[in-house]
Amino acid sequence: MSTASVTARRPVLADLVPGTIARDVVLVLGVALLTAAAAQVAIPFWPVPVTGQTFAVLLGAAALTAWEGAYDDRLIATITALLFSLAGDIFLMQDRDLLLEGLAAFFVAHVAYIVAFGGPVLTPFAVFIATAIILVSGPTFLAVREGLRRRRRDELILPVLGYVVVISLMVVTAVTAPGANNWSRGSVVAAAVGAVLFYTSDASIGVHRFVKEQSWAPVTIMVSYHLGQIGLVYALART
């Protein structure tokens, strides 16, 4: 088998747009619009309705990119992350309080993303990013913890702490592992931006719900969440 036959990939939909940076910008914005539109679609389902935004992310990634293997570990982990993200979306959209179930679903999603990115790496840059995340997560968690106590929701303190730990580890992994493993520049940037946006969305949820309501929070939460998912999947799919 020749080297060319090993490294060659099939042309995909993304190849129809000329250029590199311009193409990526146009396609990411296109998937973002598709995701926003899919979020308005609710499919009747018991016990709760299903919305389409997470599946739109997966559909966009599949349409725009080519995976190296049909069912490799990275693809399976990414699909797992998206499916559990969808479950988390559904739990958190309900009128009744399903926050614990939503936290559990997104906890699994972040573990799956950590696996998809190949796990944490131990480099000076990773230590720097981990330190930065701790400096942000620590005060945010303490503020949310006080909000939970004021609302007499002490049973959520440990689950929230566990969630903060796993999403922080996901951010550190997504920001540092692609570069350490020599992924393409586009994938490195997309992974880092996607992880930070995902973290921003969840931190905004915690502050908005348990510390102080902010007028800007709902839009920030939704936009950063969906763009974050797109960035993570884009990075994983283009690698």
Q: Which two tokens stand for residue 149?
A: 């106590």
Per-residue model confidence (pLDDT) at position 219: 87
Greater confidence (48 vs 166) lies with 166
Q: Which two tokens stand for residue 80?
A: 């797992």
Cβ-contact 107, 163 below 8 angstroms: yes
Domain range list for the chain:
71-238
3 state DSSP class of 96: coil
Residue 2 has pLDDT above 50, yes or no: no
Per-residue model confidence (pLDDT) at position 95: 61
What burial class does residue 119 get, using C-beta atoms within 10 Å of its C-beta: 0-12 exposed, 13-18 middle, 19+ buried?
exposed
Per-residue model confidence (pLDDT) at position 222: 86
Greater confidence (97 vs 159) lies with 159
Greater confidence (235 vs 9) lies with 235
Residue 23 has pLDDT above 50, yes or no: yes
User: pLDDT confidence of 4, banded at 50, 70, 90?
Assistant: very low
- Look at phi and psi of residue 17 and say left if phi exceeds 0, alpha if psi is from -120 to 50, else beta: beta
Pairwise CA distance, residues 115 & 201, whole Å? 21
pLDDT in tens, 202-223: 999 999 989 988 888 888 888 8
Per-residue model confidence (pLDDT) at position 98: 81
pLDDT in tens, 41-93: 665 554 445 566 666 766 666 555 544 444 468 888 888 898 888 888 888 77
* Mean pLDDT of all residues in 118-141: 94
